[in-house]
Amino acid sequence: MVSISPASPTDAAEMAEIYAHHVLHGTASFETAPPDGAEMARRMAKVLAPGWPWLVARGPDGAMLGYAYASQFRDRAAYRFTCEDSIYIRHDCRGQGLGKALLAALIEACEGCGFRQMIAVIGGAGPASIALHAALGFTHAGTMRSIGRKHGQWLDTVYMQRPLGAGDSTPPGEEP
């Protein structure tokens, strides 16, 4: 049984290990040098400070299997109701439904934070990530061609979008 719970700063080193594999071997992240645990803790603190969600998935033995978080899509005030999701699964645990479980929990947490739209920025245009997001109601919002270069290849980025809660059907309780 997998459990999903809020992350804590003590999780940073395990997250850095999971992320390092994706940085070094994959195209989902356009980073080329993996951050260490201290940097991951700084990134987590920046997300958690405004009350945004950062979740971890753990197996029955307590080992971290993956993590997901969301933060405001861009820094400017008009974006305050739109978030961007990030999900990373331990490389030897992919294809087991963990991404779907984490994303579903993240969507719920983001609705609770008052976000009205969620954006997926899918680096490398990974088909598995596109399928995961589509399965949870995201639709294609655009493709940026050949905007990154990693592992000797040009990489596209696919944008997908999903409304949260009332989406844009009603105005927010307070304008930016």
Task: Look at the block and give the residue holding tokens 């490398």.
Answer: 124
Report the pLDDT averaged over residues 130-159. 97
Structure tokens at 90: 């331990």
State pLDDT tens for residues 5-22: 999 999 999 999 999 999
- For residue 159 the two structure tokens come to 């944008």
Q: How far apart are CA 39 and CA 79, in angstroms?
A: 25
pTM over 0.85: yes
- Per-residue burial over 3-30, b if 16 or more Cβ lie within 10 Å, else e, is ebeebeeebbebbbbbbbebbeebbbbe
Burial of 67 (0-12, 13-18, 19+ CB in 10 A): buried
| pLDDT higher than threshold 90 for residue 1 | no
Per-residue pLDDT of 76-114, as tens digits, reads 999 999 999 999 999 999 989 999 999 999 999 999 999
CB 133 within 8 Å of CB 126: no
24-62 pLDDT, tens digit per residue, is 999 999 999 999 999 999 999 999 999 999 999 999 999
Domain boundary assignment for the chain? 3-163
**The CATH number fitting domain 3-163, selected from 3.10.20.30, 3.40.630.10, 3.40.630.30, 3.40.50.300:** 3.40.630.30
How confident is residue 126, by pLDDT bands cut at 50, 70 and 90? confident
